[in-house]
Amino acid sequence: MTDNLLIADLRREYTLAGLRRADLDQDAIKQFQKWFQQALAGKLTEPNAMTLATANKEGFPSARIVLLKGVDERGFTFFTNYESRKGRELTENPNASLVLYWPEMERQVNIAGTVTRVSREESALYFNSRPKGSRLAAWVSAQSEVIENRAALEEKLTSLSSQHAGEEVPLPPFWGGYCLNPSRIEFWQGRPNRLHDRFRYLRQADGQWTIDRLAP
């Protein structure tokens, strides 16, 4: 029989700050950029790490951590292997959700919307900015597929490294960026006694945002 892992006593109180309607920008993207700049200023560990939740055509969900690589008026951009599980699911069902959690600031942001691929030019621009080892690894890894062992990966990397010695590594046809265009963004600020502050932005047909306070 497996021992019961007691986690009920793992508890913290949230006391750093509150969030008022008057604190918020009317534009959800600008509000996110404001919070993200504060996370950068706080020197948090990988403040751009975020959970990406997807679902296949049957509605079965999956989630993993990816890295946010851009935020602009279009939405939130990340890069990956198009043939991975998340890539296949986004092809079947483009609806997805992102969550960023910054425990040091007692904040989280929940984002939902529709995902589309960015242009090959934008993907190439980012791909070429990566370290060469990371570019080679994109070719080496058939992401999410079963492999025999780690040695097979390392042997393939060694072979490709020799093949591209002194050469640029081209962008793989199966690798690139996605942009999640948000229809909803929620900002959460921890508060004492679990009476957290939550504000939800909903995008309207004219592109403007409505803002509502939600119960914690």
- The string over 45-75, giving b where at least 16 C-beta atoms fall within 10 Å of a residue's C-beta and e elsewhere, is eebbebebbbbeeeeeeeeeebebbbbeeeb
In the chain, ranges of CATH 2.30.110.10 domains:
21-128+172-214
d(CA 59, CA 101): 25
Q: What percent of the chain has pLDDT over 70?
A: 98
pLDDT over threshold 70, residue 123: yes
What is the model's pLDDT at position 2? 66
Each residue's pLDDT tens digit, 82-102: 999 999 999 999 999 999 999
pLDDT digits (tens, 9 = 90+) for 160-210: 888 888 889 999 999 999 999 999 999 999 999 999 999 999 999 999 999
Q: Summarize the annotated binding site for FMN as residue ranges.
A: 64-69, 79-80, 85-86, 108, 143-144, 188, 198
Q: Which residues contact 161 (CB under 8 A, 6 or more apart)?
A: 136
In this prediction, residues 68-91 reach a mean pLDDT of 97
Annotated binding site for substrate: 11-14, 69, 126, 130, 134, 194-196
pLDDT of residue 112: 98
Could you tell me the pLDDT band of residue 40, with boundaries at 50, 70 and 90? very high
Please, which residues have CB within 8 angstroms of residue 37's CB and are 6 or more apart in sequence? none
Angstrom CA distances, 82 to 29, 89, 172, 180, stand at 26, 10, 10, 15
Residue 194 designated active-site = yes
Question: How long, in residues, is the chain?
Answer: 216
Query: Which residues participate in the annotated binding site?
Result: 11-14, 64-69, 79-80, 85-86, 108, 126, 130, 134, 143-144, 188, 194-196, 198
Short-list 21, 25, 47, 50, CA closest to 36? 47
What pLDDT is attached to residue 160? 86
Confidence of residue 46 (pLDDT cuts 50, 70, 90): very high
Catalytic annotation, pick one of 191, 194, 200, 213: 194
- pTM of structure: 0.92
Answer yes or no: is pLDDT of 3 > 90.
Answer: no
131-142 tens-digit pLDDT? 999 999 999 998
Burial (Cβ within 10 Å: 0-12, 13-18, ≥19) of residue 115: buried
- d(CA 29, CA 212) in angstroms, rounded, equals 16
Question: CATH says 21-128+172-214 is which class?
Answer: mainly beta
